[in-house]
Amino acid sequence: MIIPEQPTETAPAAKGSSFLSVQDLKVSFATEDGIVRAVNGLSFDLEKGRTLGIVGESGSGKSVTNLTILGLHNPRTTTVEGQILLDGQELVTASDKELAKLRGSKMSMVFQDALAALSPYYTVGRQIAEPYMKHTGASKKEARDRAIEMLTKVGIPQPQTRVDDYPHQFSGGMRQRAMIAMALVNDPELLIADEPTTALDVTVQAQILDLLKDLQQETGTSIIFITHDLGVIANIADDVLVMYAGRCVERGTMAEVLDSSQHPYGWGLLRSIPHMNADVDKPLMPIPGTPPSLLNPPSGCAFHPRCEFRDKVGGDRCVTELPRLELANGHLSACHLTPQQKQDIFAQQIQPQLG
Ligand code: SF4
């Protein structure tokens, strides 16, 4: 089926001083099978010192968005349109040299797999010290002292000796802490954390989240936290942006989305995570179906093949018409259900299932 070009969603900018402003971002890749539209008209703002959670299944465009902000996409195969302003500086048109200067100083990233991100050939201390020397011109001795200071900050025991260890000598949780130390060594104003706790057990996961929260309070860094699991960011994010098939389908404060999500995909995410007061014997409800291919996404609302509520919208609107991001019951959502329908379904069907 040929899918007609669909209009870009519109979304009002957040209030307050925006440190990072992403406006109508579109990212596509040329592949042998055709054009993959990974991000399609995404807009959001992030204020200083706040944490934005970007949530969605794999292939929703969340990681591509953040690699594009960092300028880590392949410019030969990727087309980027729209605007990304970091503290007023345009990143979409910035040169590789300008982006490299910003990475590791003004913005940095923590990846999911610390073992893959850290080099096995260099000590942990050297890997923390090098970006510090590069961006500040510090001496080897000063950079080593800074590495020890950062290891102390992220809670590595005996940092004076562990600084000379290699990554394989650290546990999984310690490696993740070391990567956070590396990412924060130059006091970046923006930290992008891409599924930083996915590979860790629940206790270590909670420790890493607490660490990020504490460090943010100390430094005022803005954080984008990417995850497929809404539950992970429930205690750390101020705001949340839910992505599906390269678009934002819901955006609000964390409390708004947790307490009154206004989108069937958001409801699916909420039902698939354990809740504090829920009956422990009650099974979690995974979202049926699989995320769509971005080579040939479904027409209209991309969620329609998986949506159990599309019959409540008149005619075939869900299949033919792209829902725009609009205010409904206090925050933004992109769904053809009326605000009253959303409120009623959430209160009567979804909330009782959450416990
Ligand atoms: Fe479901 Fe239709 Fe809303 Fe999409 S627009 S989420 S298909 S009800």
Output the CA 218–ligand 1 centroid distance in Å: 42
Task: Give the span between the Cα atoms of 9 and 23, in whole angstroms.
Answer: 11
pLDDT confidence of residue 283 = 63
Output the CA 8–ligand 1 centroid distance in Å: 17
Output the CA 31–ligand 1 centroid distance in Å: 29
Domain positions in the chain are 1-106+188-355
User: Do residues 329 and 254 touch, judged by C-beta distance below 8 A?
Assistant: no
Report in angstroms the alpha-carbon separations of 3 from 82, 152, 158, 171, 300.
22, 54, 59, 49, 9
**Residues with Cβ within 6 A of ligand 1?**
264, 301, 303-304, 307, 309-310, 313, 318, 323, 335-337
Q: Residue of the nearest CA to atom 7 in ligand 1?
A: 304
Q: Which of 243, 287, 309, 349 to mutate to test the pocket of ligand 1 (most atoms within 8 A of CB)?
A: 309
* Range of weakest confidence among 205-214, 231-240, 262-271: 205-214
For the sheet with 89-90, list strands across it: 34-47, 18-31, 78-86, 89-90
Task: Give the span between the Cα atoms of 63 and 29, in whole angstroms.
Answer: 14
Output the average pLDDT for the chain: 89
For the sheet with 190-194, list strands across it: 107-110, 190-194, 222-227, 51-55, 239-244, 247-253, 331-333, 326-328
Q: Which of 9, 261, 304, 349 to mutate to test the pocket of ligand 1 (most atoms within 8 A of CB)?
A: 304
Q: Which residues contact 162 (CB under 8 A, 6 or more apart)?
A: 124, 151, 156, 170, 174
Output the CA 21–ligand 1 centroid distance in Å: 28
Beta pairing class for 326-328 and 331-333: antiparallel
User: Strand, coil or helix: what is 252?
Assistant: strand
pLDDT confidence of residue 282 = 65
Q: What is the DSSP letter of 325?
A: -
Output the CA 244–ligand 1 centroid distance in Å: 12
pLDDT confidence of residue 12 = 43
289-327: pLDDT as tens digits:
899 999 999 999 999 999 999 999 988 999 999 999 999
Using alpha carbons only, give the angle 246, 250, 251 rounded to the nearest 5 degrees. Answer: 110
Q: In which band, very low, low, confident or very high, does the pLDDT at 255 lie, cut at 50, 70 and 90?
A: very high
Q: Residue of the nearest CA to atom 8 in ligand 1?
A: 310
Q: In which band, very low, low, confident or very high, does the pLDDT at 278 lie, cut at 50, 70 and 90?
A: low
Task: Give the span between the Cα atoms of 233 and 242, in whole angstroms.
Answer: 12
Output the CA 20–ligand 1 centroid distance in Å: 30
150-203: pLDDT as tens digits:
999 888 999 999 999 999 999 988 998 999 999 999 999 999 999 888 777 788
User: Do residues 305 and 288 touch, judged by C-beta distance below 8 A?
Assistant: no
23-60: pLDDT as tens digits:
999 999 988 899 999 999 999 999 999 999 999 998 89
pLDDT confidence of residue 8 = 43
Instruction: Classify domain 1-106+188-355 at the CATH topology level.
Output: Rossmann fold (3.40.50)
Q: In which band, very low, low, confident or very high, does the pLDDT at 11 lie, cut at 50, 70 and 90?
A: very low
Helix intervals (H) in the chain: 62-69, 96-102, 114-117, 124-136, 140-153, 159-162, 172-184, 202-219, 230-233, 254-260, 264-271, 317-320, 339-345, 351-354
Which atom, in ligand 1's list, is nearest to the CA of 312? 8
pLDDT confidence of residue 314 = 84
pLDDT confidence of residue 205 = 83
